[in-house]
Amino acid sequence: MSRIPARLASVAALALYALLSVAIFGRGVLLSPHTHVVGDAGPDKTIAMWSLAWWPHALAAGRDPFDADVVWAPEGIDLAWVTSIPGASIAAWPLTALAGPVVSYNVLALAAPALSAWAAYALARELSGAPAPALLAGLLFGFSSYVVVHTVGHLNLTLAARAALRPARAAPLPRGSGAAPVRDPARARAHGPVPALGGALPDACPSGRALRGDRALAPARR
Protein backbone atom coordinates (compact mmCIF):
# COMPACT_ATOMS: atom_id res chain seq x y z
CA MET A 1 0.00 0.00 0.00
CA SER A 2 2.87 2.35 0.73
CA ARG A 3 3.94 2.33 -2.92
CA ILE A 4 0.51 3.22 -4.31
CA PRO A 5 0.85 6.99 -3.72
CA ALA A 6 4.25 7.01 -5.43
CA ARG A 7 2.84 5.18 -8.44
CA LEU A 8 -0.15 7.48 -8.61
CA ALA A 9 2.16 10.48 -8.39
CA SER A 10 4.23 9.05 -11.24
CA VAL A 11 1.17 8.56 -13.44
CA ALA A 12 -0.05 12.05 -12.58
CA ALA A 13 3.35 13.49 -13.48
CA LEU A 14 3.29 11.74 -16.86
CA ALA A 15 -0.23 13.02 -17.52
CA LEU A 16 0.82 16.55 -16.61
CA TYR A 17 3.87 16.42 -18.88
CA ALA A 18 1.78 14.99 -21.74
CA LEU A 19 -0.84 17.72 -21.43
CA LEU A 20 1.86 20.36 -21.28
CA SER A 21 3.54 18.97 -24.40
CA VAL A 22 0.28 18.97 -26.33
CA ALA A 23 -0.56 22.49 -25.14
CA ILE A 24 2.83 23.88 -26.16
CA PHE A 25 3.66 21.94 -29.32
CA GLY A 26 0.50 20.24 -30.53
CA ARG A 27 -2.17 22.88 -30.87
CA GLY A 28 -1.75 23.10 -34.63
CA VAL A 29 -1.94 19.37 -35.32
CA LEU A 30 -4.69 18.04 -33.07
CA LEU A 31 -7.47 18.59 -35.61
CA SER A 32 -5.42 17.62 -38.68
CA PRO A 33 -2.73 15.13 -37.63
CA HIS A 34 -2.56 13.64 -41.15
CA THR A 35 -1.81 16.92 -42.91
CA HIS A 36 -0.08 19.09 -40.29
CA VAL A 37 3.11 18.35 -38.40
CA VAL A 38 4.64 19.43 -35.12
CA GLY A 39 7.36 22.03 -35.59
CA ASP A 40 8.22 24.54 -38.26
CA ALA A 41 7.93 24.37 -42.05
CA GLY A 42 11.54 23.28 -42.52
CA PRO A 43 12.53 20.08 -44.35
CA ASP A 44 14.55 18.44 -41.55
CA LYS A 45 11.62 16.44 -40.23
CA THR A 46 11.02 14.72 -43.57
CA ILE A 47 13.90 12.28 -42.98
CA ALA A 48 12.22 11.20 -39.75
CA MET A 49 8.88 10.65 -41.47
CA TRP A 50 10.55 8.73 -44.28
CA SER A 51 12.43 6.60 -41.73
CA LEU A 52 9.20 5.79 -39.91
CA ALA A 53 7.94 4.24 -43.14
CA TRP A 54 11.23 2.78 -44.38
CA TRP A 55 12.28 0.65 -41.41
CA PRO A 56 9.00 -1.31 -41.16
CA HIS A 57 8.91 -1.68 -44.95
CA ALA A 58 12.48 -2.97 -45.19
CA LEU A 59 12.16 -5.37 -42.26
CA ALA A 60 8.82 -6.73 -43.46
CA ALA A 61 10.33 -7.35 -46.90
CA GLY A 62 13.36 -9.12 -45.44
CA ARG A 63 15.75 -6.45 -46.72
CA ASP A 64 18.80 -4.96 -45.06
CA PRO A 65 17.29 -1.75 -43.63
CA PHE A 66 20.68 -0.04 -43.62
CA ASP A 67 21.02 -0.45 -47.39
CA ALA A 68 18.49 2.10 -48.68
CA ASP A 69 18.79 1.87 -52.45
CA VAL A 70 15.40 3.53 -52.98
CA VAL A 71 16.90 6.99 -52.44
CA TRP A 72 19.93 8.69 -53.98
CA ALA A 73 19.63 6.37 -56.97
CA PRO A 74 21.40 4.58 -58.42
CA GLU A 75 23.95 4.18 -55.61
CA GLY A 76 21.54 4.47 -52.68
CA ILE A 77 22.66 5.46 -49.21
CA ASP A 78 24.04 3.67 -46.16
CA LEU A 79 21.75 4.51 -43.24
CA ALA A 80 24.54 3.66 -40.82
CA TRP A 81 25.57 7.29 -41.36
CA VAL A 82 22.09 8.81 -41.13
CA THR A 83 19.99 9.78 -38.11
CA SER A 84 17.18 7.49 -39.22
CA ILE A 85 15.68 6.78 -35.74
CA PRO A 86 15.54 2.97 -36.10
CA GLY A 87 14.39 2.35 -32.53
CA ALA A 88 11.55 4.84 -32.70
CA SER A 89 10.56 3.63 -36.18
CA ILE A 90 10.25 0.04 -35.01
CA ALA A 91 8.41 1.03 -31.82
CA ALA A 92 5.92 3.08 -33.86
CA TRP A 93 5.49 0.36 -36.50
CA PRO A 94 1.87 -0.53 -35.55
CA LEU A 95 0.81 3.12 -35.49
CA THR A 96 2.56 3.82 -38.80
CA ALA A 97 0.83 0.84 -40.40
CA LEU A 98 -2.52 2.04 -39.09
CA ALA A 99 -2.35 5.81 -39.58
CA GLY A 100 0.74 6.57 -41.66
CA PRO A 101 4.15 8.13 -40.95
CA VAL A 102 2.88 11.69 -40.55
CA VAL A 103 0.62 10.74 -37.66
CA SER A 104 3.39 8.61 -36.16
CA TYR A 105 5.77 11.54 -36.37
CA ASN A 106 3.30 13.83 -34.62
CA VAL A 107 2.69 11.32 -31.84
CA LEU A 108 6.41 10.77 -31.28
CA ALA A 109 7.17 14.50 -31.46
CA LEU A 110 4.58 15.19 -28.76
CA ALA A 111 5.54 12.17 -26.68
CA ALA A 112 9.28 12.90 -26.69
CA PRO A 113 9.25 15.92 -24.32
CA ALA A 114 6.73 14.25 -22.00
CA LEU A 115 8.66 10.98 -21.81
CA SER A 116 11.96 12.80 -21.31
CA ALA A 117 10.42 14.81 -18.48
CA TRP A 118 8.92 11.68 -16.95
CA ALA A 119 12.26 9.87 -17.06
CA ALA A 120 13.96 12.80 -15.32
CA TYR A 121 11.15 12.83 -12.76
CA ALA A 122 11.70 9.12 -12.08
CA LEU A 123 15.44 9.65 -11.62
CA ALA A 124 14.99 12.67 -9.33
CA ARG A 125 12.32 10.87 -7.32
CA GLU A 126 14.61 7.87 -6.92
CA LEU A 127 17.50 10.02 -5.73
CA SER A 128 15.61 12.47 -3.52
CA GLY A 129 12.44 10.70 -2.48
CA ALA A 130 10.63 14.04 -2.78
CA PRO A 131 7.87 14.31 -5.42
CA ALA A 132 7.69 18.10 -5.73
CA PRO A 133 11.39 18.68 -6.54
CA ALA A 134 11.26 15.64 -8.83
CA LEU A 135 8.33 17.16 -10.70
CA LEU A 136 10.30 20.36 -11.20
CA ALA A 137 13.37 18.41 -12.32
CA GLY A 138 11.26 16.67 -14.94
CA LEU A 139 9.98 19.99 -16.24
CA LEU A 140 13.47 21.45 -16.43
CA PHE A 141 14.79 18.44 -18.34
CA GLY A 142 11.90 17.53 -20.63
CA PHE A 143 11.02 21.12 -21.53
CA SER A 144 14.51 22.57 -21.51
CA SER A 145 15.64 25.00 -24.18
CA TYR A 146 17.48 22.09 -25.84
CA VAL A 147 14.29 20.06 -26.25
CA VAL A 148 12.13 23.04 -27.21
CA VAL A 149 14.47 24.26 -29.94
CA HIS A 150 14.80 20.78 -31.47
CA THR A 151 11.08 20.08 -31.41
CA VAL A 152 10.87 22.13 -34.61
CA GLY A 153 12.01 19.08 -36.58
CA HIS A 154 14.80 17.06 -34.97
CA LEU A 155 13.04 14.04 -33.52
CA ASN A 156 16.32 12.17 -33.21
CA LEU A 157 17.46 14.77 -30.66
CA THR A 158 14.28 15.13 -28.60
CA LEU A 159 13.97 11.39 -27.89
CA ALA A 160 16.18 11.84 -24.83
CA ALA A 161 14.38 9.84 -22.14
CA ARG A 162 17.13 7.24 -21.88
CA ALA A 163 19.67 9.97 -21.11
CA ALA A 164 17.84 10.56 -17.82
CA LEU A 165 17.42 6.87 -17.06
CA ARG A 166 21.06 5.99 -17.73
CA PRO A 167 22.50 7.31 -14.42
CA ALA A 168 20.00 5.27 -12.41
CA ARG A 169 21.02 2.11 -14.26
CA ALA A 170 24.73 2.84 -13.99
CA ALA A 171 24.74 3.64 -10.27
CA PRO A 172 21.50 2.60 -8.51
CA LEU A 173 20.99 4.17 -5.11
CA PRO A 174 18.64 3.48 -2.21
CA ARG A 175 15.39 5.38 -2.61
CA GLY A 176 15.61 8.85 -1.13
CA SER A 177 19.25 8.49 -0.13
CA GLY A 178 20.16 11.93 -1.45
CA ALA A 179 23.71 10.70 -2.05
CA ALA A 180 25.61 11.20 -5.25
CA PRO A 181 26.41 8.05 -7.25
CA VAL A 182 29.98 6.82 -6.92
CA ARG A 183 31.41 5.31 -10.08
CA ASP A 184 34.02 2.60 -10.08
CA PRO A 185 37.28 4.50 -10.83
CA ALA A 186 38.64 1.65 -12.96
CA ARG A 187 35.43 1.50 -14.98
CA ALA A 188 35.40 5.28 -15.35
CA ARG A 189 38.93 5.28 -16.74
CA ALA A 190 38.15 2.41 -19.09
CA HIS A 191 34.92 3.80 -20.53
CA GLY A 192 34.85 7.52 -19.81
CA PRO A 193 31.77 9.73 -20.26
CA VAL A 194 31.43 9.56 -24.05
CA PRO A 195 30.42 5.87 -24.41
CA ALA A 196 27.82 6.33 -21.68
CA LEU A 197 26.26 9.25 -23.52
CA GLY A 198 26.32 7.38 -26.81
CA GLY A 199 24.60 4.41 -25.22
CA ALA A 200 21.99 6.66 -23.69
CA LEU A 201 21.01 8.29 -26.97
CA PRO A 202 21.13 5.66 -29.70
CA ASP A 203 18.61 7.50 -31.89
CA ALA A 204 20.40 10.82 -31.52
CA CYS A 205 23.45 9.51 -33.35
CA PRO A 206 23.97 7.83 -36.72
CA SER A 207 22.86 4.24 -36.59
CA GLY A 208 26.40 2.91 -36.67
CA ARG A 209 27.74 -0.11 -38.50
CA ALA A 210 28.52 -1.67 -35.13
CA LEU A 211 24.80 -2.49 -34.89
CA ARG A 212 25.25 -5.03 -37.67
CA GLY A 213 28.73 -6.21 -36.71
CA ASP A 214 30.91 -4.39 -39.24
CA ARG A 215 34.50 -4.47 -38.10
CA ALA A 216 35.34 -1.04 -39.48
CA LEU A 217 33.51 0.78 -36.69
CA ALA A 218 33.47 -1.94 -34.04
CA PRO A 219 35.11 -1.03 -30.70
CA ALA A 220 38.82 -1.80 -30.64
CA ARG A 221 39.80 -4.86 -28.66
CA ARG A 222 42.36 -4.59 -25.90
pLDDT, tens digit (0-9, with 9 covering 90-100), for 62-82: 999 999 988 887 888 899 889
**Domains in the chain, number:** 1
Q: What is the mean pLDDT of residues 38-45?
A: 86
Percent of the chain with pLDDT over 90: 49
Assign 169 to helix, strand or coil: helix
Residue 77 lies in a domain: yes
Contact 92, 56 (CB under 8 A): no
| 194 or 133, which is more confident | 133
Q: H or E segment at 68?
A: strand 67-68
| pLDDT for the residue 43 | 86
Residue 196 lies in a domain: yes
Residue 64: which domain range?
4-211
Residue 216 lies in a domain: no
Residue 146 lies in a domain: yes
How far apart are alpha carbons 26 and 132 in whole angstroms? 26
pLDDT, tens digit (0-9, with 9 covering 90-100), for 100-119: 999 999 999 999 999 999 99
How far apart are alpha carbons 92 and 98 in whole angstroms? 10
| pLDDT for the residue 3 | 54
pLDDT, tens digit (0-9, with 9 covering 90-100), for 145-188: 999 999 988 999 999 888 877 665 555 555 554 544 444 544 44
Residue 82 lies in a domain: yes
Q: H or E segment at 148?
A: helix 145-150
